[in-house]
């Protein structure tokens, strides 16, 4: 019998029963040096690792604690194996460094995470990797198909897109890429854990910033890369060549966060829907960008491919509001913190320049709704919108 998602999040990588008893959680194993019972045992473990087996041979190459988190993520994402990284951006960078070489061509969605674009523009391009951007949203699959080359090695996207939350037809993109031998990698941070499964929809690689909802308490940074059998072993080997590792203490806390992520995300989403319903009635709000809304251009794809939604979305303000009004709104907040990242228990807000990612309209404000009472958050938003109105009229 196959367990449902909420059950899997609670039970994945739980310790096997011992002699009648076992701990609920995997033990925390801290180690740099690992001791062997003999020289022949050391050589045997080395051979097993060289053959691709994950083995406890040195702390920087993983411990039973990090292995437990990797196994849980592989189960939830539906991948062959998972590797952990100190940040989400490190996970993204590793995919680029492992997969691409000078002379390769990579297609990247216009709406990828900004720092990922910096890697492409400022690191890959000067080193001979040809980086090209394709159209977001509904046009993505056709644009990818038109831009593929014999040298295309990778198609890379966030789904939904960063900040503007456009949705792309991943199965269609994968279908176009595969005949060319191109891999498809998806930043699945918005869809983790369990809301979206890129590997089941044709992607080869799924990247998650575990910093967000899975860790869930705004006190840990970590990323993961889960891949299908065709590329997973290469990504795993290269991560050790490059010395990538994470703290077992952090892995333990991320695994603990995984146990409650479904409940926390469901509560935050319910709060967000109350907040969004109120925002949609406000004259100063031009548009809410959130694919779970029936009015959103990507809603049909969201219904087809996603199992749910979280509580991260954006709004745009009505013209003639500009950056001054967006700043005034955010500066007036009492509960919404001004800070990067999202997915923790607290509500956050950030503003972005008009026209970001090609989006037309008024200034954009990204909101993360946390676990505070939605009525209090609505009062905070009302305070902010009034400050924006006064700024506009004054």
What's the pLDDT at 286?
96
What is each CA distance from 133 to 60, 89, 187, 243, 358, in whole angstroms? 36, 19, 16, 30, 12
Q: pLDDT, tens digit, for every residue of 113-137?
A: 999 999 999 999 999 999 999 999 9
- Domain spanning 261-393: which CATH class is it, in words? alpha beta
User: What does the mean pLDDT of the chain come to?
Assistant: 95
**Which band of pLDDT confidence, cut at 50, 70 and 90, is reported for residue 243?**
very high
In this structure, what DSSP letter does residue 123 have?
Answer: I
Q: pLDDT, tens digit, for every residue of 134-165?
A: 999 999 999 999 999 999 999 999 999 999 99
**Which band of pLDDT confidence, cut at 50, 70 and 90, is reported for residue 1?**
low
Q: pLDDT, tens digit, for every residue of 31-69?
A: 999 999 999 999 999 999 999 999 999 999 999 999 999
What's the pLDDT at 6?
79
- Bond before 320 cis per omega within 30 degrees: yes
Burial tier of 77 (Cβ tally within 10 Å: 0-12, 13-18, 19+): buried
**Which band of pLDDT confidence, cut at 50, 70 and 90, is reported for residue 361?**
confident
| Euclidean distance between CA atoms 1 and 68, whole angstroms | 22
Domain borders along the chain are: 261-393
Does residue 73 or residue 23 have the better pLDDT? 73
Residue 338's CB is within 10 A of a number of other CB atoms, namely 11
The answer to whether 321 and 363 are in contact (CB under 8 A) is: yes
Can you say whether the dihedral through the CA atoms of 304, 5, 266, 73 is positive or negative?
negative
| Euclidean distance between CA atoms 304 and 301, whole angstroms | 5
Instruction: Return the structure tokens found at 126.
Output: 């000067």
What's the pLDDT at 16?
74
Instruction: For 160-273, list the strands marked E by DSSP.
Output: 183-187, 205-209, 223-227
Give yes or no for residue 20 having a pLDDT over 80: no
pTM, 2 dp: 0.95
Phi, psi values for residue 51, rounded to 5°: -80, 0
Mean pLDDT, residues 355-377: 92
What's the pLDDT at 18?
67
Give yes or no for residue 19 having a pLDDT over 70: no
What is each CA distance from 42 to 48, 129, 239, in whole angstroms? 10, 40, 22
Q: pLDDT, tens digit, for every residue of 178-207?
A: 999 999 999 999 999 999 999 999 999 999
Contacts of 122 (CB under 8 A, 6+ apart): none
| Selection from 270, 274, 305, 275 nearest residue 291 by Cα | 305
Chain centre to alpha carbon of residue 1: 29
Burial tier of 147 (Cβ tally within 10 Å: 0-12, 13-18, 19+): middle
DSSP 3-state of 375: helix
What's the pLDDT at 25?
86
């Amino acid at each position: 019998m196959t367990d449902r998602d909420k059950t899997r999040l609670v039970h994945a990588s739980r310790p096997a029963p011992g002699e009648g008893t076992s701990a609920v959680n995997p033990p925390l194993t801290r180690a740099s040096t690992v001791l062997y019972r003999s020289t022949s045992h050391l050589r045997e473990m080395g051979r097993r690792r060289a053959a691709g087996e994950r083995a406890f041979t040195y702390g920087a190459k993983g411990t039973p604690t990090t292995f437990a988190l990797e196994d849980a993520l592989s189960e939830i994402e539906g991948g062959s194996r998972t590797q952990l990284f100190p940040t989400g951006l490190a996970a993204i960078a590793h995919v680029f460094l492992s997969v691409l070489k000078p002379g390769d061509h990579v297609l990247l969605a216009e709406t990828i995470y900004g720092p990922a674009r910096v890697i492409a523009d400022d690191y890959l391009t000067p080193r001979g990797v040809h980086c090209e951007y394709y159209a977001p949203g509904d046009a993505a699959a056709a644009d990818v198909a038109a831009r593929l080359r014999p040298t295309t090695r990778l198609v890379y996207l966030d789904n939904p897109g960063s900040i503007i939350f456009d949705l792309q037809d991943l199965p269609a993109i994968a279908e176009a890429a595969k005949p060319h031998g191109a891999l498809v990698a998806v930043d699945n941070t918005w869809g983790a854990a369990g809301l979206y499964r890129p590997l089941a929809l044709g992607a080869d690689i799924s990247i998650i910033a575990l910093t967000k909802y899975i860790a869930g308490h705004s006190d840990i940074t970590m990323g993961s890369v889960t891949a299908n059998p065709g590329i997973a072993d290469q990504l795993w080997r290269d991560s050790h060549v490059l010395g990538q590792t994470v703290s077992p203490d952090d892995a333990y806390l991320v695994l603990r966060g995984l146990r409650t992520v479904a409940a926390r995300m469901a509560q935050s989403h319910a709060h967000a829907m109350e907040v969004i319903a109120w925002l949609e009635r406000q004259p100063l709000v031009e548009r809410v960008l959130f694919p779970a809304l029936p009015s959103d251009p990507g809603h049909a794809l969201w219904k087809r491919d996603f199992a749910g939604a979280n509580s991260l979305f954006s709004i745009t303000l009505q013209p003639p509001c500009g950056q001054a009004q967006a700043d005034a709104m955010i500066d007036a907040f009492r509960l919404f913190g001004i800070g990067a990242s999202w997915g923790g228990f607290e509500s956050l807000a950030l503003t972005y320049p008009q026209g970001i990612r090609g989006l037309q309209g008024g200034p954009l404000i990204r909101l993360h709704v946390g676990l505070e009472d939605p009525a209090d958050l609505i009062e905070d938003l009302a305070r902010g919108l009034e400050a924006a109105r006064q700024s506009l009229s004054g």
